[in-house]
Structure 1
Amino acid sequence: MTLPISVQLYTVRDELAADRDAVLRRIAEIGYRAVEPYDPTTDPEGFRRVADDLGLTVSSTHAYALLSQEPAKVFDAIATVGTDKVIIPGGIAEEEFTTRDGLARTADLLNGLAEQAAGHGMRIGYHNHWWEIEPRVDGRHAIEVLADLLAPEVFLEIDTYWAAVGGADVPALLGRLAERIEALHVKDGPGIKGEPHVAVGAGVMPVPAILAAAPGAWRIVELDECATDVFTALADSHAYLTSLESS
């Protein structure tokens, strides 16, 4: 069965700060059946209550907090939010992805977090931007070398847009990393750093080929910055991805 389409809530961070419950309701009304929080430590009980009422599954969560807060408290919050997939979405110096030694240190960090997560029945993943893709280490994208150094239980959430901006042939990269990938950030735009994103299907990304390369992964829509009304872009993205499923 195809996993429901999710949305990274960083997309609507400003709107969430103003009225979380109304935003989650609007996301559900668009047709999304899953969400990915970016800060599970903010009122996890209240978030879970509203998500349950709206029938929203938590596909996974980002957790910058693991790099700065007491891990046990963060894992407790994540358990309340309701997922076992915990993703580190950055917070590691970009320079660490330019050398094999830096990648080894990064792998040690992620593997250590994975050991802690296992004690809470959870798993750790890593989410890329362009700086894990642009550097070439031993002739490969840095994230590919990193993947070889990660413990077997550590997974990847590939941000397909930033992978393209970083110079990757995204479907080919997904094929090479297939065993590690459990989630995709599906986004679209002009493919240029600093330019705002657009609804999935309205930019330059080869979305059908990307999805075909990782058919079992969660598809998580995200717009870091939006060139149009953000809820219109989320609705158009959902409609487009749903049309691909039925075609």
Structure 2
Amino acid sequence: MSRPLGVQLYTVREQLAADRNGVLRRIADIGYDAVEPFDPTTDPQGFRQLTDDLGLAVPCTHAYALLDQEPGAVLDAIATIGADMVVIPGGIPHEEFTTRDGLARTADLLSGLAEQAKPYGMRLGYHNHWWEIEPRVDGRHALEVLAEMLPPEVFLEVDTYWAAVGGADVPGLLGRLGDRVAALHVKDGPGVKDEPHTAVGAGVMPVPEILAARPDAWRIVELDSCATDIVDALAESRTYLSTLEAV
């Protein structure tokens, strides 16, 4: 794998609430090299100390808080945990992805946040769900049109599973988006909206083809829900992905 394999910590949100230190230690013990927080403003100093102690990199974080909190305080917290990639993972009305005007407003919003992150040495990105893929604008997935409206420094973190659920041929989509894609959420499952996810490699996703389409992107495992033990599923995902290291 070209970059550290990470876990989006939303996967273990319930376990983190009960025992943050123990859960992060288990993630490190499984063999993951990095984590992606979903709330960088909660105890950033303690989080940084723990991840440093465990040898876990924190290249990237989600930051819903940038949409409704004072950006400087949020970016200060992100600087403390050590991330230099900051992702908006939703929070924009779904209707904005159904028209060109809505996409233009979304691009303006993301561009403005990117300018605020720039003095911190951080890049801003956007993470999709299905609602940026299902709508077609000018005959293309809305996410593709948005990408063309964004300044080049704004990257995409493509959630490969939700892109598939939204109707995309994911390897093809990644090929068209090209270098705009700096990170991938790698997940698996039955490919429908309301069913639990599975360990990566145990569902319907063409994982090898997806990884081959963007070999230089950072790979982050995320399972929004799971019918089995979630930490066991993370371990199974790590084992499966380790067999694809040459991809």
TM-score by length of 2: 0.99
Q: What is the CA–CA distance in structure 1 between the aligned matches of 2:107 and 2:57, rounded to whole Å? A: 29
Gaps of 5+ in 2: none
Q: What is the CA–CA distance in structure 1 between the aligned matches of 2:49 and 2:178, rounded to whole Å? A: 34
Gaps of 5+ in 1: none
* Aligned 8 A contact 1:6 1:59 in 2: no
For residue 66 of structure 2, what is the amino acid of its counterpart?
L
Dislocated runs of 4+, deviation >4 Å: none
Residue equivalent to 1:17: 17
For residue 105 of structure 1, what is the amino acid of its counterpart?
R
Residue equivalent to 2:100: 100
Deviation sequence 1:90-130 (CA, Å, 0-9, x none)? 00000000000000000000000000000111110000000
> What pairs with 1:27-106 in structure 2 (closer than 5 Å)?
27-106=27-106
State the Cα distance separating 1:246 from its structure 2 match: 4.9
Q: What is the CA–CA distance in structure 2 between the aligned matches of 1:18 and 1:165, rounded to whole Å? A: 31
Q: What is the CA–CA distance in structure 2 between the aligned matches of 1:3 and 1:154, rounded to whole Å? A: 20
Residue equivalent to 2:140: 140
Residue equivalent to 2:151: 151
Structure 2 residue 205 is matched with structure 1 residue 205: yes
3-state DSSP of counterpart to 2:245: helix
3-state DSSP of counterpart to 2:198: coil
State the Cα distance separating 1:59 from its structure 2 match: 2.5
Residue equivalent to 1:232: 232
Q: What is the CA–CA distance in structure 2 between the aligned matches of 1:194 and 1:63, rounded to whole Å? A: 25
* Aligned 8 A contact 1:59 1:218 in 2: no
Count of residues paired in the alignment: 247
3-state DSSP of counterpart to 2:157: strand
Q: What is the CA–CA distance in structure 2 between the aligned matches of 1:104 and 1:51, rounded to whole Å? A: 38
Q: What is the CA–CA distance in structure 2 between the aligned matches of 1:229 and 1:8, rounded to whole Å? A: 16
CA RMSD of aligned residues (A): 0.8
Residue equivalent to 2:4: 4
Percent identical among aligned pairs is 76
* Aligned 8 A contact 1:111 1:151 in 2: yes
For residue 37 of structure 2, what is the amino acid of its counterpart?
P
* Aligned 8 A contact 1:189 1:205 in 2: yes
Q: What is the CA–CA distance in structure 2 between the aligned matches of 1:246 and 1:50, rounded to whole Å? A: 31
3-state DSSP of counterpart to 1:245: coil
* Aligned 8 A contact 1:124 1:154 in 2: yes
